[in-house]
Structure 1
Amino acid sequence: MTELADAEALSGEGRADGLPLDADSLIWRWFGDNRMYLIGPRPAVLQNMLAELGQGVADHSVFFADTAARIKRSMPPIFGTVYGSEDDNAGTRVRDFHTGIKGEMPGPDGGRYHALNPETYFWAHATFVEAVLYMADTFVRRLSDAEREQIYSESKTWYRRYGVSDRILPADYAAFTAYWDHMMDTVLVPHRTAIYGVGYVTKGFPKPKAVHPLAWKIIAPLFNPVAAFLTTGGMPPRARAMLNLPWTEKQERRYQRFAALWRTPTVNRIWDRLPMSARYTPIAKRAYADAGVTP
């Protein structure tokens, strides 16, 4: 079931079980929170460890030629899906970007892939949902079971805004966790797209096209160690092992101390007193302003 018509025919199943995605939601509170930068490229790398998704990026994206450009192009519509209203969001536009992303898998087993295959499309979404859960629990505060359940229920509403099949949606947070563990343990692979995406951990980050070579020569020695620390520390241990990312017990202790510092009441109070422009991405900031809410 990879064609758009099939996806649209199934997109209305079970809508009643998703919580509202609005200014009172936890996904609004944390998906556009700039502390998401602290988890590094966790969702993007995990997405590309699904072989079909990684191959689609390799075949159809400018990811290898200009990684920053792909991120800059891809993320605003996803933010627009989250921070739009139920009747006015970018979800179907995001879906339509993917209608032509299909092709043949390499190797003797072959097979075809399509970005709108429900298993492929949902995995991409799941990595963003898990990123919200991971960031909030790691760098804001330990989440309660009720908060985890709420975030997952809100994420169902988010997913349905894309207008694709929701038949694969896990029923609740426990089912989502089981799905996540299954993907990590038995499905994901070290696809070359994912390996390329974390290559700078050992090789250094490539100079962004918009940055002058001299400026990058000054910035890189400071930027690269921080980027490597956040990237490697922010990956699940299983993915870290599959991608051969260097990480020691000492580094793990440093990462956990770093995360614990961010979770302290003092740091949270300071963060909450910063201007909205410092705390949130522009799209999230505008959405909260339109709703008349300051989180």
Structure 2
Amino acid sequence: MTELAEQPQHADSLPLGPESLVWKYFGDNRMYLIGPRPAVLQNMLAELGQGVLDHSVFFADTAARVKRSIPPIMMTVYGSDDDNPGQKVRDFHKNIKGEMPSQDGQPAARYHALDPETYYWAHATFVEQVLYFADTFVKRLSDDEKERIYLESKAWYRRYGVSDRAMPATYAEFVQYWDRMMDEIVVGHKTAQYGVGYVTKGFPKPKGVSPLAWKFIAPVFNPMAAFLTTGGLPPRARVLLDLPWTERQERNYQRFAAFWRSGPVNWLWDRLPMSVRYNKFAQQGYASQRAGQHAGA
């Protein structure tokens, strides 16, 4: 069964908005440096991966799936409490249900995308995305900053209107939840394996790119994509997905991350135009807040 929730104000969370750390980091264009980490990890939960396999155009047209999914998720964050598409995102998943493949002759279990444990895992990968990205490629986060991001993520999750029974109460409990999911629950589901297949096979030529151009682009693009994707995954996920990764690659990845965290790079980045630093959804959110402040002045 699924559970939907109302959206009262909660004292155990912090609000989203221009002063929040989730706003500061989630729409930062440096987020591309972590590769498809959240999408891959989402599909490693068997029920979620099966839902994508059974209902999504992910396999037939991956770009279309991404293009359709990102805007409403982004605007759930960068909207306001009373004007965001969170419940529309929830409603997209009402008919995503079915049966898991039966194993060892046991009756097949059913899945539903709106089961609180399943839906929360999808959200948890975005929360962890913010934490991992900021701590790896921007600055080492303090314990207080990690707690703040997590408390803001609780307000974010409640915008979907799904039961929050699966949501840990504190950041420390979230860490325990995350470790248990990675160590005991997630698997190398075929949907996740498909999503990282280019690591070993290379990307197919994108639509609109000429074969001649791709001949020169692919030798540079494919190794970088593989490096960011594999390096950007937890070690346990690499093992479950059988992704190649050496100690030398890990050292190079850590040097790469340290370069982006360095003072000169951050100093330069902070002085670039907002149109360079943030995606269009974050820009829209900040602009709407400024417009509202000016209207109320």
TM-score by length of 1: 0.95
Partners of 1:76 and 1:151 lie apart in 2 by 21
Change (3 A) 1:190 1:85: same
- The aligned residue for residue 192 of structure 2 is 194
- The aligned residue for residue 138 of structure 1 is 136
**Residue 32 of structure 1: which of 22, 27, 30 is its match?**
27
**Residue 227 of structure 1: which of 225, 228, 232 is its match?**
225
Shift of 1:218: 2.8
Task: Tell me if structure 2 keeps the 8 A contact 1:48–1:194.
Answer: yes
**Equivalent position amino acid for 2:185 in 1:** V
Q: Deviations over 1:205-254 (max 9, x none)?
A: 12333434433333222110000000000000010111111000000000
Partners of 2:214 and 2:92 lie apart in 1 by 33
Shift of 1:291: 1.9
- The aligned residue for residue 156 of structure 1 is 154
**Equivalent position amino acid for 2:177 in 1:** Y
Shift of 1:169: 1.1
Q: How does 1:1-295 map to 2 (within 5 A)?
A: 1-2=1-2, 7-8=3-4, 10-12=5-7, 15-108=10-103, 109=106, 110-292=108-290
- The aligned residue for residue 295 of structure 2 is none
**Equivalent position amino acid for 2:45 in 1:** L
**Equivalent position amino acid for 2:167 in 1:** L
**Equivalent position amino acid for 2:206 in 1:** P
Shift of 1:105: 0.6
Q: Deviations over 1:126-145 (max 9, x none)?
A: 00000000000000000000
Partners of 1:57 and 1:13 lie apart in 2 by 31
Partners of 1:214 and 1:92 lie apart in 2 by 45
Task: Tell me if structure 1 keeps the 8 A contact 2:13–2:155.
Answer: yes
Change (3 A) 1:212 1:94: farther
Q: Deviations over 1:269-292 (max 9, x none)?
A: 111111111111101011112223
Shift of 1:57: 0.4
Shift of 1:13: 7.2
Partners of 2:45 and 2:34 lie apart in 1 by 19
Change (3 A) 1:230 1:188: same
Partners of 1:117 and 1:44 lie apart in 2 by 18
- Unmatched segments (≥5 aa) in structure 2: 292-297
Task: Tell me if structure 2 keeps the 8 A contact 1:13–1:167.
Answer: no
